[in-house]
Chains A and B, each alone.
Chain A
Amino acid sequence: VPNFYFREFRSPFLTDQLATMQRRYLIGLAIATGCSAAGAATLQVRASASLHKGQGAIMEVRVNGARVGTSTVTSPSTTAFRYEVPALAPGSKVDVVFTNDASSDGEDRNLFVESISEGSTVVLAASPAAVFDRGAGPNAFDGVDVLPGQSGLYWAGALRVTWPQPAPLPSASVNEATRFLLQASFGPRPGEAEALANSSSPARWIDAQLALPARPDFVSHLQAKFAQGASFRPGGTQYDLAWLPQRFWATATNSPDQLRKRMAWALHQIWVVSLVQSDLFPHGRAYAQYLDTLNRHALGNYRQLMEDVALSPAMGIFLSHIRNRKEDPVSGRMPDENFARELMQLFTIGLYELKPDGSLRLDASGQPIETYNNADVMALAKVFTGYSWAFPDGQLNEERFRWHEPDYKANPDPGIDLLPMKAYPGQSSTAAVTLFAGKPNALTLPANTAQATRLKLALDTLFNHPNVGPFVARQLIQKFTTSNPSPAYVQRVAAVFANNGRGTRGDLGATVRAILLDAEARQTSALSGASPTGAPALATKLRDPVLRVAHWLRAFEAKSPSGEFRMNYEHDALTQPVYFPASVFSYYRPAYSPPGTALARFDAVAPELQIVNESTAAQWVNRAESMAGNGLGWNGKSNDAVADYTPLVALLNSGNAMKLVQRLNQQLFAGRMSVKLQNTVAQAMGSVSGNDAASQLYRARLAVFLALSSPEFTVQP
């Protein structure tokens, strides 16, 4: 709907002009709805003026030398003027002529032209496609006294435009490739979507990603820091947990194994270990090991992930099962239940029994069926007793179990924090344990079962619980493609989790492949809101602040002057500080539905909206201004994540500002930027008046700012 045309028709027109204006509006409507008369086009000039003796500026518009209209510009604020013109081929000459320059008694009549546009072409007055030929009458066209194109016409003369090439919409195939990469990675860099569309396919891209090996990105980063000396180790003045989120940003921006990194980021939000737990502060390298574990198993097997994260010292500290003491009948002491509970509730099976499509199973009275009760939590807690830091086997005594910590200043560095926790002899509970009594998946561990066997069987039992597939599939789908998957979509992905086609359960590479290649994820035709219920019909989700920043970093090939992307705590204000979620419940909950919205009425969820509020929404706009400007982060001398907008300036220099807008439309919106926002951004660039290189860069920044701060951008297409 051409709201745009409505908005431009402001009141200062005289009544005898109204009929003409209405006619022009109808033409505008016809064009906007794709029914234009053959050969006819509407040229729009956005202009304002300063007056002399109450008289406005006379603006004459010519196409290829023939006059198409004359207007008197009287308003000091920019107004749109429209003219019916023949179709404009590239190379056509469009002149905007200022004919009544005058100045006296401190009054100066000038004409200011922001932009001249038709269809998908927007020419800014201050652009390489325009020159200003000064002179009155025929001297306006004599090629003498010619200045570069500029917005302010302070003398009689003609702003002469050589009509540039149009700005085609991004192609459907490139849009689809972009959309795929926005889902599957931290966003496409320039050219990547084109390459995928032209010479690859989503399936081949995934296969290539699955073949890339995992690398110990985080441990190696901290190792390199530690190697700089004692002051860089825990307790030293240079030691800084911010190294961990910084490494996240550096690898998200530059690492080739994008699918693995995006999956590890998703898994971090399920298998949460948060640096808000102050007991983790001295153990930054143990945390790095947890992150590398997520990376290592991100496309591997869920069962191995379960075990390696369960035994990672970082998780042990966060959910307090490191040094967890066995029960003591004398004092009544019971094992710590923290990890046991969250392992079931959040990491594997959830609270209620699920059907293969993720919907609730109900009992005979229509009630959900609990997967476990508190007795199961207390039983599983016993399995996670007796673990602590992996000191050498001969030293695993009670004193070490309860009190000793790794010595990060030791030389050579024993790296105890990099090893899985060990079960200390005599410290683990040996009591008989029954899990899920009375259920088909019940497990009984007789008294005195070996600790390694207890752990293995307990984890096997959880891993083989029929809930795991749908429980994990739904959450991963929400992280990659859509907040509201259909039950059938969940079921298809859960089936691949149950069996990767080669008889293996828990293959995360196969699972994410199924998520990304599913017909529901790849669906492109239906528009949101088009379904009969009004529920979101297209597989989309909101971008959380981290994904918004990541997509920006890659779309504009951001560089870090220090190489370390020192964006420390500036994401706090957006309430998504990387690796510092508030609790084991992560940054936001998968079932959050914003009250009072259409989403809630349709029983749809929008998890990312849980951290959008009056403050964070305003903060995001301010952050977007920095991103469009000098960048984010600080390295002591300059911003430390700086986007490269020179490709955008090059598009502006083509003469058609809409080319820049279409690049943004493709890179950031996968072609789904609304026409209204496209036009607003293109024309807003005309409000920058200078015609030097700095002004062109300003225009690019302004366009990026408007795009990044728009509510449309918060949607991952």
Chain B
Amino acid sequence: MTASRRHFLRQAAALSAFGAGRATPLALSLAGIGSLAQAANTTGYRALVCLYLNGGSDSHNWVVPTDSTNYASYSKARGDLAWSRNNLQAMSQTRQAAGRSFGMPLELSPLHAHYQAGKAAVLANVGPLVRPISRLDYDNGKGLPPKLFSHNDQTSAWQSLQPEGAPSGWGGRMGDILMAGNGQPVFTAVSASGNAVFLAGKQAVQYQVSSDGPVSVRALGAGWVFGSNQMSSVLRGTLTGSGNDHYSKAYASVMRRSLDTTATLQAALMQTSVAPLSTRPTAFGASGNITLSNDGLAKQLRMVAQLIAAGQRLGMSRQVFMVSMGGFDTHSNQMRDQPNQMARVAMSIDFFLNAINAQGLGNNVTLFTASEFGRTLVSNGDGSDHGWGSHQFVAGGAVRGREIYGTFPVSAIGSPDDVGSGRLLPSTSVTQMAGSLAGWMGLSSTEQAYVLPNLGNFSAGPLGFI
């Protein structure tokens, strides 16, 4: 496996020659990685799951200060967007400044339980950074990621650590290195929520599956189609052929991958047993009734749990997954919509962690949340606007939970972390967060430098949450 991994690295180094004309921050690290002696540790099984909250989640309300000073300034700044204090469940933690305390809304109860059980942690005020910057740097426009506060640009910043239009993401680049150790390399980077740059690698292609599983071409399995019993062989030829142009060739390669993998994956999925999603309506706090069996995010996470189970039969050692949920761009009706969103996320994560534990893989799977940006602390009267840093969760048996990592900001307008209207200047970079996760996945420091182009700009060492 090491041999084929090296083979990939040589290929990757050669491939980078094509990158001329496009910004290639990876080229240097690729050169370095070519001579690397220490290979990734791919023993056992590990999977990373990115739960992406589309739209920019208002995490000011997911982890809320409860000490009187900070609650007062939080409440003042948020106005109509503030949670009432008696809606917050206390969170244990030891790492934040003396006198500070925090809580999670009742709507997050299922996640709060995992947090208190030590199986989930919070990473405070994390966001895209090119290098550590100060408030002064921000005011002078120095060292900023391009196009802060813009959805698609900051989505790219989070998922690829590069400007919009980047061809690969850090999940996919991990896949580049880890795929050679997998029995079925095609299933290394799997999205249950459509095309996302996070899972695109330079070599690893993201495999996209619907939350109902892989889709079969009906006519290939049917004996007779339109009066012919020969369609199966004819169709296999026409579906994988293409015209003499790059568009239909690219289309045909996706089609070919679909035909080549569906049967394998379906067979492996048939042998898995993951508990069904509950059909019972459940509510937490003001969430209103949520029925997991109808919930899009829960369905995606159940599919990932099934894929992880199937992966054990397919000889997989390392996998990266992506699921997502939309609706977090709460410019309006935030207090109507956010309770429901929180409960959906918390219940879905709870289902997933339990499903993974039932497989005995609790310590082998880590889920983290991500979102393109946090939001303003101030209200626009009915919602909040695009921000920057945000608080995210990491969950799983390997996580050193019941703790808030990083530096939790002072929740007030005009605080040192406030770059305007309570938009947070991140104190921890996505790159650092990703570095800790990459280390857990077994990547050596040289390999991490390939996956995370600006890692060297930040002080060395993992953040300690895993």
B149 CB within 8 Å of chain A: yes
* B372 CB → nearest A CB, Å: 11
From A324-332, A456-464, A634-642, give the one contacting chain B. Answer: A324-332
Given A325-B381, A351-B147, A597-B250; A622-B218 close (CB under 8 Å): yes
CB atoms of A540 and B245 under 8 A apart: yes
Query: Is A619 close to B, CB under 8 A?
Result: yes
A374 within 8 A of partner (CB): yes
In the complex, chain B residues whose CB is within 8 Å of the CB of A613: 191, 194-195, 208, 254, 258
Q: Which residues of B contact A680 (CB under 8 A)?
A: 234, 237-238
Q: Is B110's CB within 8 Å of the partner chain A?
A: no
How many chain A residues touch the partner (CB < 8 A)?
A: 96
When A583-B55, A601-B18, A615-B215 are in contact, do A332 and B234 touch as well, CB less than 8 Å? Answer: no
Stretch in A22-30, A250-258, A602-610 with 4+ CB within 8 Å of B: A602-610
A612 at the interface (CB under 8 A from B): yes
B148 in contact with A374 (CB, 8 Å): yes
User: Nearest B residue to A3 by beta-carbon distance?
Assistant: B241
Q: Say yes or no: B208 contacts A614, CB within 8 Å.
A: yes
* Chain B residues whose CB sits within 8 angstroms of the CB of A584 once the complex forms: 151
Q: Which residue of A lies closest to B249 (CB)?
A: A598
Give the CA-CA distance A218 to B21 in the complex, in Å: 47
Given known pairs A604-B246, A618-B258, the reply for A711 and B385 (CB within 8 Å) is no
A351 touches B153 (CB 8 A): yes
Q: Is the CB of A617 within 8 A of B227?
A: no
Binds B, one of A103-111, A281-289, A697-705: A697-705
- The yes or no answer to A242 lying at the interface (CB within 8 A) is no
B151–A333 CB distance below 8 A: no
B172, B235, B252 pick with most chain A CB within 10 angstroms:
B235
A614 touches B207 (CB 8 A): yes
Chain B 50-64 near chain A by CB (<8 Å), digits 1 or 0: 000011000000000
Nearest chain B residue, comparing its CB with the CB of A625: B219
Q: Which residue of A lies closest to B253 (CB)?
A: A597
Judge whether A615 and B230 touch: CB under 8 Å: no
Interface membership of chain B positions 178-203, coded 1 if the CB is closer than 8 angstroms to chain A and 0 otherwise: 00000000000001001100001111
Residue of B nearest to A626 (CB): B218
Instruction: Let me know if A529 is at the binding interface, CB within 8 A.
Output: yes
A337 to B22, CA, bound (A): 32
Q: Which one, A335, A541, A593, A628, contacts B380 given CB within 8 A?
A: A335
Stretch touching chain B among A297-305, A489-497, A563-571, A687-695: A687-695
> CA of A706 to CA of B331 in the docked complex: distance in angstroms?
47
**With A334-B376, A622-B217: A714-B22 Cβ-Cβ less than 8 Å:** no
A279 to B334 Cα, complex, angstroms: 12
Q: Contact check, B151 vs A583: say whether CB atoms are below 8 A apart.
A: yes
Residues on B with beta carbons closer than 8 Å to the beta carbon of A595: 167-168, 172, 200-202, 205
Q: Are A711 and B251 in contact, CB atoms less than 8 angstroms apart?
A: yes
CB atoms of B79 and A331 under 8 A apart:
yes
Contacting pair B214 A615 (CB below 8 A): yes
Once bound together, how far apart are the Cα atoms of A715 and B332, in whole Å? 40
Contact B326 A582, beta carbon cutoff 8 Å: yes
Interface stretch among A56-64, A438-446, A549-557, A670-678?
A670-678
Cβ contact within 8 Å between A333 and B79: yes
Q: Is the interface of B mostly helix, strand, loop or mixed?
A: loop
The answer, among A332, A337, A688, for a CB contact under 8 Å with B413, is A332
Chain A residues in 8 Å Cβ range of B255: 617-618, 621, 711
Which residue in A319, A603, A715 is a CB contact (below 8 Å) of B243?
A: A715
Q: Does A69 contact B (CB under 8 A)?
A: no
Instruction: Provide the bound-state CA to CA distance between A713 and B386, in Å.
Output: 41
Is the C-beta of B390 less than 8 angstroms from some C-beta in chain A? no
Closest-by-CB residue of A relative to B385 is A337
Expressed in whole angstroms, the Cα–Cα distance for A681 and B150 within the complex equals 48
A619 pairs with B226, CB closer than 8 A: no
CB-based contact B22/A712 at 8 Å = no
In the assembled complex, which residues on chain A have CB atoms less than 8 Å from the CB atom of B234?
680, 684, 687, 706
Residue B378 interfacial (CB < 8 Å) = yes
Is A711's CB under 8 angstroms from B248's CB? Answer: yes
A684 to B326, CA, bound (A): 45
Known: A621-B219, A712-B242. A612 touches B251 (CB 8 A): yes
B225 → chain A closest CB, angstroms = 7
Q: CB distance A536 to B246 under 8 Å?
A: yes
B-contact 0/1 string along A71-89, CB 8 Å cutoff: 0000000100000000000
Most buried by B among A584, A599, A702: A702
- Output the residue of A540, A575, A618, A629 with the most chain B CB within 10 A: A618
Is A542 interfacial (CB 8 A cutoff)? yes
Q: Who on chain A is nearest to B326 by CB?
A: A582
Would you call A528 an interface residue if the criterion is a C-beta within 8 Å of the partner chain's C-beta atoms?
yes
- Report which of A351, A377, A534, A702 forms a contact with B227, defined as CB distance below 8 A: A702
Q: Indicate whether A261 reaches chain B with its CB closer than 8 angstroms.
A: no
Q: Which residues of A from 554 to 600 have beta carbons under 8 Å from B? A: 573, 575, 582-585, 589, 591, 593-600
Flag whether A323 is at the interface (Cβ < 8 A).
Answer: yes
- A345-B380 contact in complex given A613-B194, A698-B226, C-beta closer than 8 Å: no
Task: Select B205's contact among A328, A593, A596, beta carbons within 8 Å.
Answer: A596
A582 CB to nearest chain B CB (Å): 6
Which of B194, B215, B385 is close to A334, meaning CB atoms less than 8 Å apart? Answer: B385
Which of B147, B216, B235, B251 has the largest number of chain A CB atoms within 10 A?
A: B251
Q: How far is the CA of A541 from the CA of B245 in the complex (A)?
A: 10
Q: In the complex, A677→B91 CA distance in Å?
A: 64
| Chain A stretch 517-540: residues in CB contact (< 8 A) with chain B | 527-529, 534-536, 538, 540
Interface residues of B in 70-108 (CB under 8 A from A): 77, 79
Q: Is B262 an interface residue (CB 8 A)?
A: yes
Residues of the B chain whose Cβ atoms lie less than 8 Å from the Cβ of A279: 332-333
B239 lies within 8 A of chain A by Cβ: yes
Does chain B have a CB within 8 A of A709? yes
**Interface residue B26 (Cβ < 8 Å from any Cβ of A):** no
Quick check: is B244 within 8 A (CB to CB) of the other chain? Answer: yes
A589 lies within 8 A of B152 (CB): yes
**Would B382 and A323 count as touching, CB distance under 8 A?**
yes
Q: Are A591 and B165 in contact (CB under 8 A)?
A: yes
* With A333-B79, A583-B326 as contacts: A715 and B247 at CB distance below 8 Å: yes
Asked if B457 lies at the interface with its beta carbon under 8 angstroms from chain A, I say no
Task: Write out the residue numbers on chain A whose beta carbons fall within 8 Å of the beta carbon of B203.
Answer: 596
A336 interface hit (Cβ, 8 Å): yes
Q: Which residues of B contact A206 (CB under 8 A)?
A: none
| Interface presence of B210 (CB below 8 A) | yes
Chain A residue nearest to B149 (CB atoms) is A374
- Min Cβ gap A307→B in Å is 21
Q: Which of B251, B259, B380 contacts A325 (CB 8 A)?
A: B380
CB distance from A494 to the nearest CB of B (A): 21
Q: Contacts A615-B208, A615-B258, A698-B226 hold; do A599 and B219 have CB atoms under 8 A apart?
A: no
- Chain B's nearest CB lies how many Å from the CB of A569? 14
- Tell me if B261 is interfacial: C-beta within 8 Å of chain A: yes
B residues near A676, Cβ cutoff 8 Å: 241
- Chain B CB within 8 A of A233 CB: no
Could you list 24 examples of A-B contacts with CB < 8 Å?
A279-B333, A333-B378, A341-B386, A528-B244, A529-B246, A541-B247, A542-B247, A582-B326, A596-B201, A596-B202, A599-B246, A600-B167, A612-B251, A614-B261, A615-B209, A618-B214, A625-B225, A687-B228, A702-B226, A705-B219, A706-B235, A710-B241, A711-B241, A711-B249
9 tightest Cβ-Cβ pairs between the two chains A and B: A528-B245, A613-B208, A698-B227, A325-B381, A614-B258, A711-B252, A320-B331, A618-B215, A688-B227
Additional 11 contacts, C-beta under 8 A, given A324-B381, A540-B247, A617-B255: A324-B380, A325-B382, A338-B331, A341-B386, A374-B148, A527-B245, A528-B243, A593-B167, A606-B250, A621-B218, A698-B228
Which A residues form the contact surface with B (CB < 8 A)? Answer: 78, 276, 279, 319-320, 323-325, 328, 331-338, 341, 345, 351, 370, 374, 377, 483, 527-529, 534-536, 538, 540-542, 573, 575, 582-585, 589, 591, 593-604, 606, 609-619, 621-622, 625, 628-629, 672, 674, 676-677, 680-681, 684, 687-690, 694-695, 698-699, 701-702, 705-706, 709-712, 714-715
